[in-house]
Amino acid sequence: MNIIFNLFNQILSSIFNFTGDWGISIIFLTILVRIILVPFSIKQKSEMYNQQRISQKIQDIKSKYKNNEKRIKEETVKYEQQLAKSTLGCLVTFIQLPILFTLYNVVMKMPVQVGTIILPWVSSIKLCDSYYIVPIIYGLISICPQLITNLDYFKVLKEVKLSKTSLIITSIFSILITIKAPIALGLYFITTSLFTLFEEIGYRLYIKKFSVVSSNS
């Protein structure tokens, strides 16, 4: 962990020497981390997409042979085996955990109280936001990647629309985990959510285009 800490500290300091602002430096560091994780994220999204596609095929088979249990088992067994092989799950989330802990340690061990030009009401990014602006912003932005699944233009399969309750719970949870956290982590969370949003949009547009090309060929 010390190696990761020293690496992050050095990278963050180098970015600060370029930007002159710790808040902006954390945003750039977050973007750098997310770019490095893009291959893992795309792999995870592809696996989730395949899972949804296979699940949809299984449902179609069950509807087609609803009066023939034997035929359903014969037709779905290979698809169920493919679903069982899924291993990635929340890989990107787990990879980010040590990064998050390291960033927290780097920020908390800064020798001085440091502010940021992008949050002028904040005296130090080591403190929580007493005005709750950062947690509220994160609470709103955190649901954006999920919201686009409710937009017909971005749908790639017969996806079930997320309920308002699910979105509200996600938003409230996001606020709760940042309300007492250092503002530096709030910046990390917000930047990560925005990156995830654009990554999700890009991936869905690619899948839609790929599906159209495949159907026309």
Model confidence band, residue 157 (pLDDT cutoffs 50, 70, 90): confident
**Per-residue pLDDT averaged across 194-206, rounded?**
93
Instruction: Give the pLDDT confidence of 84-93 residue by residue, as tens digits.
Output: 665 555 667 7
Q: 114 with 106: CB under 8 angstroms? A: no
pLDDT reported for residue 80: 72
Instruction: Give the pLDDT confidence of 36-70 residue by residue, as tens digits.
Output: 999 988 888 888 888 888 888 888 888 888 878 88
Q: Cα–Cα distance between 172 and 6 in angstroms, integer?
A: 34
Instruction: Give the pLDDT confidence of 93-144 residue by residue, as tens digits.
Output: 787 888 889 989 988 888 778 899 999 999 999 999 999 999 999 999 999 9
pLDDT reported for residue 213: 46
Phi, psi at residue 93, to the nearest 5°?
-60, -45
Name, in order, each residue with C-beta under 8 angstroms of 199's C-beta and a sequence gap of 6 or more: 34, 38, 41
pLDDT reported for residue 89: 57
Name the residue among 105, 101, 126, 106 with its Cα closest to residue 115.
126
pLDDT reported for residue 212: 54
Q: Cα–Cα distance between 199 and 42 in angstroms, integer?
A: 9
Query: Which position has the token pair 């005296």?
Result: 123
| Choice among 22-26, 111-115, 169-173, 175-179 with the minimum mean pLDDT | 111-115
Tell me the CB-side half-sphere exposure of residue 215, using CA atoms within 13 A.
6
What domain range includes position 49? 2-216
Q: Cα–Cα distance between 81 and 93 in angstroms, integer?
A: 25
Return mean pLDDT, the chain: 86
Q: How many domains, in total, are found in the chain? A: 1
**Per-residue pLDDT averaged across 151-180, rounded?**
87
